[in-house]
Structure 1
Amino acid sequence: MPDQRLNYVSGEWTASNTDETFETTDPANPDEVIATYPQSDAEDTERAIEAANEASDEWAETPGPERGRILTAAGSLLDQRTDELTELLVREEGKTWSEAGGEVQRAIDIFHYFGSKASDLGGTVKSSSARDTNLYTTVEPLGVAGLITPWNYPIAIPAWKIAPALAAGNTVVIKPATLAPGVVHEMAEALDEAGLPDGVLNVVTGPGSEVGSTIAGHEAVDAVSFTGSTAVGNTVYDTATEDGKRVQLEMGGKNPTIVSDSADVEQAADIVANGAFGVTGQACTAASRAIVHEDVYDEFVDAVVDRAAAIDHGHGLDDPGMGPHVSESELESTLEYVEIAQDEGATLEYGGSELDREGYYVEPAVFSDVDTEMRLAQEEVFGPVLAVIPVSDFDEAIYVANDVDYGLSASVVTDDHTEANRFVEEIEAGVVKINEKTTGLELHVPFGGMKDSSSETYREQGDAGLDFYTISKTVYDNY
């Protein structure tokens, strides 16, 4: 029988005011219902925001080391439940066991990291130009943080928003994605068990039109952090900034990997294939464009096709090379882009077909002869579809890489140090990698994009993650 989940408000698990529910299903076995969740509305969301607001002062006054101990304890509890969390993530989102297990471990590491950082929160002391004066800064939490998170990294992204918000002394209301909210509920249970006071964290499930828009527009919410599509993110930004909220958006990507004529082609094919086809291409940092020097173009296309053809498919619990898309609509979107690319004249070198089996499976697709004006070269696909674009030199490669609306992640494969340095300086992306895939992030350094990939306000993760959730005061103490 499917799990019956509830909202988490003011330290209690509670049903929705609507008495309506929605189901999550296994994308590898769509007829299998995993759990039911409250189909919450604006009234439910307002109740959660009120709970967070009531708990705000007490949590802000809790010493940083004490907040940190709760986060660390929650991380340890999650660590004890790694296999359980991994299985739930696989069954709701569709990742392979290895991919899901890596994401769960990342969430655990994030809680331990920000648990330790909570003890270091404070200001700085400066030397005053006046006599008999102490000059220093302090940092304070903003208040109530509203978090709206996506389905593709359903535990890692909520963790890297929740943990710094709580470490800094904010209370939280989070709306997890409806396709895979289960691991956020498990996170809330771990924090509750670790001793988090009532009302400090609140979880409300339901549609963005009700829950998300209420979070973004409520006067008691002081900061909004959103990860998702650019179209929805821009709406969230407009709503949240109407009354001056602090806003952080991380959105889509059209991420390039440049392959230089100096690159080892086999190594380049490994790097691009891992970045393009990992997690079924359902990552905002996935490589969707390989921009390849014409001298090695044909060799590279053959090599990356070999990688795509070698990928096996199956249920994530069996840990295959690739799991299914998260939903039928995501699968249909990928298939539509495959058709669009062929209609526009790109050559389908491999894949792109729906697999004849239960579940939302698609073959990874490799396209050659892609022109930079084609939709495949400009629009985010969010599936395992790679456009291979030929260029005549490194100048053209940089131009093509930057000639999109997005600027999230980018990489280059080269043995030329001058090219690597130029790439770092000239590429328009917030995450820049040399001889690495576009996916994969360290948790203690800033993460965020440029252009339509981000609001370009505040970065996430590391110290930058704490910066978003705090505000500073400068103190002049004339004694």
Structure 2
Amino acid sequence: MTTTTETKTKTYLNYINGEWVASESEKTGVSKNPAKKGEVVGSYQLSSTIDFDKAATAAKKAQKAWRKLAGSVRGDYLLKAASILEERIDDVAATMTKEMGKTFAEAKGETARGVAILRYYAGEGMRAVGEVIPSSDSEALMFTTRVPLGVVGVITPWNFPVAIPLWKMSPALIYGNSVIIKPASETAITCAKIIECLHDAGIPAGVVNLVTGSGSVLGPEMAAHRNIDAITFTGSNTVGKELAQIAVSRGIKYQLEMGGKNPVIVANDADLDLAVEATISGGLKSSGQKCTATSRVIVQKEIYEPFKEKLLQKVAEITVGDGMDAGTWMGPSVSEGQLNTVLSYIKKGKEEGATLLFGGNQLNENDGLNGYYVEPAVFENVTSEMILAREEIFGPVLALMKVDTIEEALETANDSEYGLSASIFTTKISHMLSFINEMDAGLVRINAESAGVELQAPFGGMKQSSSHSREQGRAAIEFYTSIKTVFIK
């Protein structure tokens, strides 16, 4: 599968029709460690539309036999892949940390989740796919079943390079589709190691295909290709909507999971220690590089000062460094470009009149670090009109917002084009019920951080965060299959 370059790093190949192959151009890109400037993790293929066409052709051909297998047989392949991934958990997690920066502990937890996702969907092969419907004809039988879409194109981001590919590919596969995945280039090697697990599990040639390279080249090609029957995408709103327009023009299914500007509401009756801990965990872990990360912190005025004091005290204790170091709590931004984006938002926040209470500085060699590091930043005096409260930053930046009442808190929380996740800290049932009923978000959590959802539960957003379909859990069957109604006389 791999070859060794002169720098002793590996060049990872595309995976097409059951074989590891170089791109048509033989050009490669380099994956670099954001924690250590200049350290190369490995190389990946810079593929062209020719390479994608080969993968799409193979996937189309393989899907015909794959869909005919019993669901339990398809599930056996996922179970085998889960066991292999579990055996390789440390290697995959270390690769993830070296490619995108999150701590090894977080990466290992995510990889373990990938194992669980594979096992969960393996079980889907034995679950019901339809229902009997009474017919008005007493001599007829009427029921529904579900059929696969065909070939599913998968485009995944760099921030969850194990979990997101697997929660898209696993349901696609178990329901009888073949797949082609185009991962983010920043974590192409991590994705290749996931595909290795499926390959070593013996999955039939062409059922799973990996093509790496430029999103601007491969994304539109995926959406437009004649052999692609559906596309599932997680990433930016701009790219997602471009892909959706192509998909609509072809009449194929599409699924988009995009941005978030996720609020946490801290009511005046909240457990402040719990709220502070969850705000920091939800907003700053993975350097804030989560679509569900806490960004806006909406606090009732009665407890604003004590909450702020506790928050700043805990943020000051955060250790920033290489995610492979045991003492590190927060790693670097994924790239120099992302670091500069975060720093630009911090600068804009100050220019707009928000007060920087803590951090926000770039960390470098003078701090004993040689990567793309920024201190966690905490702002106050943030209003809903400011850019800090409007745009997704994807960095370790918290914006404190003071409100008088829970009603104002909910109004402020909903004052966003996004609606992915939200949380509230309160002990009053009335506040909980108001939050559940009125919060415009696909995921609402009470007395828990905004980031994270269990794999067996539906996940997706409202408003501009999503195309309004749901991923994960049993809900995934709604996207990856079509209902067929059967009438037998």
TM-score (norm 1): 0.98
Shift of 1:217: 1.1
Pair 1:218-2:218 in alignment: no
Match in the other structure for 1:271 = 278
Task: State whether structure 2 residue 168 is matched by structure 1 residue 161.
Answer: yes
Identify the match of residue 17 of structure 2 among 10, 29, 35.
10
1:376 aligns with 2:388: yes
**What is residue 352 of structure 2 aligned with on the other side?**
344
- Secondary structure of 2:126's match? helix
Q: State the aligned residue count.
A: 477
Please give the alpha-carbon distance, in whole angstroms, between the structure 1 residues aligned to 2:465 and 2:50.
32
Aligned residue type for 2:481? T
**Which structure 2 residue ranges, 5 or more long, are not aligned?**
1-7
Contact 1:276 1:286 in 2 (8 A): yes
What CA distance in whole angstroms lies between the structure 2 residues aligned with 1:102 and 1:439?
14
User: Pick from 302, 310, 329: which aligns with 1:321?
Assistant: 329
- Structure 2 counterpart of 1:259: 266
Per-residue deviation, residues 307-330 of structure 1 (Å, max 9, x unmatched): 211100121111311011110011
Q: Residue in 1 aligned with 2:474?
A: 463
The 1-side partners of 2:443 and 2:224 are apart by 30
Q: 1:106 aligns with which of 104, 113, 117?
A: 113
2: CA distance between counterparts of 1:278 and 1:409?
A: 16
- In structure 1, how many angstroms separate the alpha carbons of the residues matched to 2:97 and 2:9? 15
Listed as ranges, the matches of 1:215-254 within 5 Å are 215-254=222-261
Aligned partners of 1:398 and 1:426 also within 8 Å:
yes
Deviation at 1:54, TM superposition (A): 0.9
1:424 maps to what in 2? 436
Deviations 1:261-289 (A, max 9, x none): 11122221111111110111000000000
User: Offset of 1:121 from its aligned partner?
Assistant: 4.6
Q: CA deviation digits over 1:411-454, x for unaligned, max 9?
A: 00011110000000000000000000001110011000001100
- Partner of 2:185: helix, strand, or coil? coil
Within-5 A mapping of 1:30-429 = 30-319=37-326, 320-356=328-364, 357-429=369-441
Secondary structure of 2:346's aligned partner: helix
Is the 1:44–1:204 contact (alpha carbons within 8 Å) kept by the matching residues of 2?
A: yes
8 Å CA contact retained: 1:158, 1:184: yes
Partners in 1 of 2:15 and 2:58 — Cα distance?
Answer: 10
Q: Is the 8 A contact 1:10 1:202 kept in 2?
A: yes
Take 2:379 and 2:257, find their aligned partners in 1: how far apart are those partners?
28
| Higher mean C-alpha displacement, 118-127 vs 418-427 | 118-127
Partner secondary structure for residue 318 of structure 1: coil
Aligned to 1:51, the other structure's residue is in SS state helix
Structure 1 equivalent of residue 483 of structure 2? 472
Give the AA of the match of 2:463.
K
CA distance in 2, matches of 1:189, 1:321: 30
Q: CA deviation at 1:143?
A: 0.2
CA distance in structure 2 between the partners assigned to 1:283 and 1:384 by the alignment: 10
Offset at residue 128 of structure 1 (A): 2.2
The separation in 2 between residues aligned to 1:229 and 1:122, in whole angstroms, is 33
Measure the CA separation in 1 of the matches of 2:214 and 2:314: 38
Report the TM-score, using the length of structure 2 for normalisation.
Answer: 0.96
Which deviations, in whole Å up to 9, do the C-alpha atoms of 1:65-113 show, x marking residues without a partner? 0000000110010001011111111111111011101110111100000
Please list every run of at least 4 consecutive aligned residues from structure 1 whose deviation after the TM superposition is greater than 3 angstroms.
Answer: none
User: Structure 2: how far apart are the matches of 1:235 and 1:353?
Assistant: 35
Cα deviation for residue 31 of structure 1 reads 0.5
> What CA distance in whole angstroms lies between the structure 1 residues aligned with 2:309 and 2:354?
16
The aligned amino acid for 1:245 is I
**Equivalence for 2:26:** 19
Counterpart-to-counterpart distance in 1, 2:480 and 2:415: 33
Give yes or no for the alignment of 1:439 onto 2:447: no
One-letter identity of the residue aligned with 1:237 = A
Q: State whether residues 9 and 203 of structure 1, in contact with CA within 8 Å, keep that contact through their aligned partners in structure 2.
A: yes
Aligned position for 2:5:
none
Shift in Å at residue 129 of structure 1?
2.5
- Residues 76 and 108, structure 1, Cα contact 8 Å, conserved in 2: yes
2:3 corresponds to: none
Structure 2: distance between partners of 1:313 and 1:213: 38
- How far apart in 2 are the matches of 1:419 and 1:204? 48
Conservation of the 8 A alpha-carbon contact between 1:121 and 1:139: no
Contact kept? 1:143, 1:171, Cα under 8 Å: yes
Q: Distance in 2 between matches of 1:403 and 1:24?
A: 38
Alpha-carbon offset, residue 466 of structure 1: 2.0
CA contact (8 A) 1:121 1:168 kept: no
- What is the aligned partner in structure 1 of residue 4 from structure 2? none
The amino acid that maps onto 1:230 is N
For the residue of structure 2 that corresponds to 1:180, the secondary structure is helix
Contact 1:74–1:190 (8 Å) recurs in 2: yes
Identical positions, percent? 44
1:451 is the counterpart of 2:479: no
User: d(CA) in 2 for partners of 1:12 and 1:340?
Assistant: 48
**Structure 1 stretches lacking a partner, 5+ long:** none
The CA distance in 1 between the partners of 2:251 and 2:314, in whole Å, is 49
Q: CA RMSD in A?
A: 0.8
> CA offsets, 1:113-144, max 9 Å, x none?
00111121522122322211111111110000
